[in-house]
Amino acid sequence: MASRFTVVLPDGRIMPWTDLDDTAGLPKDCAYYGALLSALDAELCEPRFRFVLTWSTDTLPFSGKDVIVLQVADEWCRWPRYVDDVAAVLKTNGTFPALGWPGVRASVGLQAMSVLQWIRVTLKTLPGRPRHLRWRLTRMCARTPVIVIPLGALSPPPTQAVPWEERTVDVIFLGSIAHGQEGSRRVAGPKEYARRDMLAAVNDVKLRRPDLKFRLGETGGFVESIASDQNAYSRAMGNARVALVPRGTHLETFRFFEAIGAGAVPIVEPLPRHRYYSSGPHVRLKNWAELPRIIDYLLPVEGLHAQGYGQGLHEQCLRAWSSTYAPDAVGRSSAQELTRAFAMQEKRRR
């Protein structure tokens, strides 16, 4: 019996996906997306549907009104060409680029590169805007459902959450400062400027708050240990109270969802206005110059302030992962939304 699940890999190879729990040879994020598709299929309870996981916004190996597409990793936020040819599209990264303006207190480099990148991405998406506009002008009951979903997590959360008071790291950041290999780019992008601003703010906090313990992934061989053991990242995140989540090459980052799953309160830069961010527990700063004030808000100096707000947000993070951001939660909520959309379409046909 042919598999109802197909993967179109970033290099264009097409593979049947007979066991969604088996991600051997697949990109690391397929573990999350496989669990999402499994929950989606179970909730829809419609064996007629076929599912495609793809990195492409241009083509599919097959189409039809029995095909549901999960399109991922499109940092250009393009409108998929095949929307009108399938039953539904679930898409990460959104369908329109967000500026994520860092504010006037951010470094000049970050302000300039954020605007320049937004212009570049916007121009890249222009060819698909007429199709997007036509879709928006079509009545809901007559158009293909397109659902923007969370980016997901590369590393699964720890199986057992460490209680707030037992965590031994106050502030954590695991990741690189530059994009790609050192020296491979002549001009720094917004990711590099944002992370430089973040490190400058961290140094300020260290001077003001010697009582806090920091763990930064750029030090020693820690990054190498994560590369050799994918669970090391989750264990480290699960032992921290607060996680710094700077932007990457795109405004959205896996780190946001990994921090929430681990119960580490994420401190983030401006994010796109997707509904799953508006309800999520996090602290959003305009720019990294605000970090010292936010750290005092979450982790107050003992004896000088009342209990900080960090522990309450930590508990909200764990609940939000289970109810909103875990792959099975995203699959179930997406299925419910699709069921409503399909019911509207069926009513219109009658």
> 306-322, pLDDT tens digit by residue?
467 899 999 999 999 99
Mark whether 58 and 130 lie in a shared domain: yes
Q: Which two tokens stand for residue 113?
A: 């590169």
Q: Above 70 in pLDDT, residue 181?
A: no
Among 61-70, 230-239, 305-314, which stretch is predicted with the lowest mean pLDDT? Answer: 305-314
Q: What mean pLDDT do residues 69-97 have?
A: 96
Q: What is the pLDDT of residue 185?
A: 52
Mark whether 272 and 339 lie in a shared domain: no
Beta bridge partners of 172: 215, 243
Mark whether 59 and 118 lie in a shared domain: yes
How high is the mean pLDDT of the chain?
89
In a domain, 56, yes or no: yes
Q: What is the pLDDT of residue 189?
A: 85
Mark whether 147 and 194 lie in a shared domain: no
Q: Which two tokens stand for residue 299?
A: 């982790």
For residue 169, give its domain range: 164-325
Mark whether 341 and 192 lie in a shared domain: no
Residue range 199-233, pLDDT digits in tens: 999 999 999 999 999 999 764 444 554 555 668 88
In a domain, 159, yes or no: no
In a domain, 157, yes or no: no
Mark whether 180 and 221 lie in a shared domain: yes
Q: What's the pTM?
A: 0.92
In a domain, 158, yes or no: no
Mark whether 135 and 57 lie in a shared domain: yes
Among 62-76, 83-97, 266-280, which stretch is predicted with the lowest mean pLDDT? Answer: 266-280
What are the C-alpha distances in Å from 268 to residues 90, 100, 206, 310? Answer: 24, 11, 19, 14
Residue range 157-173, pLDDT digits in tens: 998 999 999 999 999 99
Mark whether 23 and 49 lie in a shared domain: yes
Q: What is the pLDDT of residue 218?
A: 62
Mark whether 309 and 223 lie in a shared domain: yes
Mark whether 135 and 284 lie in a shared domain: no
Q: What mean pLDDT do residues 301-305 have?
A: 58
Mark whether 12 and 121 lie in a shared domain: yes
Question: φ, ψ for residue 169 (rounded to 5)?
Answer: -115, 130
Q: What is the pLDDT of residue 304?
A: 44
Find the CATH number of the domain harbouring 215: 3.40.50.2000
What is the total count of domains within the chain? 2
